[in-house]
Structure 1
Amino acid sequence: MEDVLREMKNQCKPITLMGDGRSDSPGFSAKYMVYSFMEETTEKIVQVQLVQKTECSSSVAMEKVGMERALDAIIAQGLSIETVVTDRAPSIKKLMKDKYPSINHQFDVWHVCKGLKKKLLSLGKKKGMEDLLLWTRSITNHFWWCCQHCGQDSSVLKRRWISLLHHITGEHEWTVEGETYSCSHGSLEVYHNVILKFAPKRLHFTYDTMLARTELAVPDHNENVGRFQAVTREGVLRFKKIYSRTAKEWILKSMYEKKTNHYARELMSRTVENRTDINFRSNISRNVHPVSIAPEPAPSTEELLSKRRSRT
């Protein structure tokens, strides 16, 4: 990550960061939260912070703590941050407004679409609104398309979004203020999947192990980001068929060139060098010193043994 940050600093250009948190377990029982920042143009991970539940008031609060630490670490490197893109968590929104007012804060379109879909599915369950379920996927796809092709112009985004009302009623050409319009028919989540390879959610790890496994996922991702789509000998793009449980239909997914792992050789080389350095252990430092998840210190073995015997 240091090499990536150094390269960006040398370019002397403001950067756009995409941030998101990933818990080590489903639901609200997470012990660890990994918050990562990805640079938009290169899609490389530039900062990762591991937060333990005992450092926060709740598992939900871990995302804010991780985000703040990660962003402060990047700022400390002297980089100029123009925009930060996150999910719509109220705590993150407040943090950006209060502590980083000079940074443009935007919401990730994927999370917005996810929230929109959830609301549409909820409405579709009401009596007389069943037909809305048939349009849910098309509506969310249309919103994504509007964001992708508005050229960062909010007025264009709004106009194209409202055009949905014409399309679903069978009206494919309409006039607004004298102008005639017509229909135009025609990720950090990937990185989180890489973390799953090194730190599966169904397995428990100590803090040091979780930190090491999380950091191993970074060079794996950064080395293989931007791979081209695989092609056949005839030069035809390759796809694979999968059944989407969300969409409830078969879809095509692009197949990409095989991953490389040159980073592993470099890590092994550095490991050998460090093991031959007599001062290696004294060079290890950590910004966060985790504590036990228990709310109070552990009593002596003798005390616990006496209590155990008293129950029999």
Structure 2
Amino acid sequence: MTLFVGTPDPLLSLQLFTTGKQQNELLHQLSQKEKVVLGGDVRADSPGHSAKFGSYTTMDLDTNTIVDMQLIQSNEVGGSYHMEKEGLKRSLALLDARGVTVDCIVTDRHPQIQKFLRENNVTHYYDVWHIAKACLHESRQTRDKKKWLSAETPAFCRLEKVMANKRILKDVAKLSPHHQTSSLEAFHSVILRFAPKNVVFPFLGMLYR
């Protein structure tokens, strides 16, 4: 987390100093590990693509420990769509500077993230839920063959079209085999209690929360 010098709030200064000290200790511990598996995700301050702030969080998925948070303002990067990539970029730069070896990172399927990690030769996996959420119906089992999909029916053709989609097939091959980002998303849901999306905060207010 970036520390801001000269912030007018003494309590915030103390909190940032304490957080920075804890983060330094954690980064030192991670630098001693041979490989680190990260999870990454952004939390916007409002729904949709008109967010002013985005906080990008990286988590050590072996211990479910928050490694870093970067608060991005949309006008820094030319729009809210670019905040996620910038947040990840800053976090990885910090980890690299502190000697942390990232084995792989698990995120959603954001196109800019895919391209950035591919160009930087970072092994990238997708969280399983971001593909599985297309099948949110309850699991059903039956021995009645009449209830199975029949070939060439409209329902079967629609299912075949989805499952044979080239992008889906390519993305399934990159699903994370072990680690997921559910703990990270749970952490973001906790932040909602302190920074709800229907309330507007200034930059320092968001940073504090």
- In the superposition, the TM-score normalised over structure 1's length comes to 0.45
Query: Which secondary structure does the structure 1 equivalent of 2:155 belong to?
Result: coil
Partner in structure 2 of residue 109 of structure 1 = 128
Q: Deviations over 1:40-60 (max 9, x none)?
A: 110010010010010122211
| 1:199 CA drift (Å) | 1.1
Q: Quick one: percent identity of the two aligned structures?
A: 39
Q: Deviations over 1:245-270 (max 9, x none)?
A: xxxxxxxxxxxxxxxxxxxxxxxxxx
Partner in structure 2 of residue 190 of structure 1 = 186
Partner in structure 2 of residue 4 of structure 1 = 26
Partner in structure 1 of residue 83 of structure 2 = 62
Candidates 64, 79, 83, aligned match of 2:100: 79
In angstroms, what is the RMSD of aligned CA positions? Answer: 2.9
Hey, what's the Cα distance between the residues in 2 that align with 1:23 and 1:17?
20
Hey, what's the Cα distance between the residues in 2 that align with 1:71 and 1:200?
27
Hey, what's the Cα distance between the residues in 2 that align with 1:2 and 1:113?
36
Q: Deviations over 1:47-78 (max 9, x none)?
A: 10010010122211111111111111111111
Partner in structure 2 of residue 219 of structure 1 = none
Partner in structure 2 of residue 212 of structure 1 = 208
Hey, what's the Cα distance between the residues in 2 that align with 1:197 and 1:39?
23
Query: Which secondary structure does the structure 1 equivalent of 2:80 belong to?
Result: coil
| Aligned residue type for 2:51 | A
**Structure 1 contact 33–52 (Cα < 8 Å) conserved:** yes
Query: Which secondary structure does the structure 2 equivalent of 1:25 belong to?
Result: coil
**Structure 1 contact 20–37 (Cα < 8 Å) conserved:** yes
Unaligned runs of 5+ in 2: 1-22, 137-152, 160-171
Hey, what's the Cα distance between the residues in 2 that align with 1:35 and 1:28?
15
Q: Does 1:19 align with 2:40?
A: yes
- In the superposition, the TM-score normalised over structure 2's length comes to 0.66
| 1:203 CA drift (Å) | 0.9
Q: Does 1:31 align with 2:52?
A: yes
Hey, what's the Cα distance between the residues in 2 that align with 1:151 and 1:88?
17
Hey, what's the Cα distance between the residues in 1 that align with 2:207 and 2:44?
13
| 1:26 CA drift (Å) | 0.8
Partner in structure 1 of residue 163 of structure 2 = none
Hey, what's the Cα distance between the residues in 2 that align with 1:208 and 1:42?
29
Unaligned runs of 5+ in 1: 119-126, 134-143, 153-186, 214-312
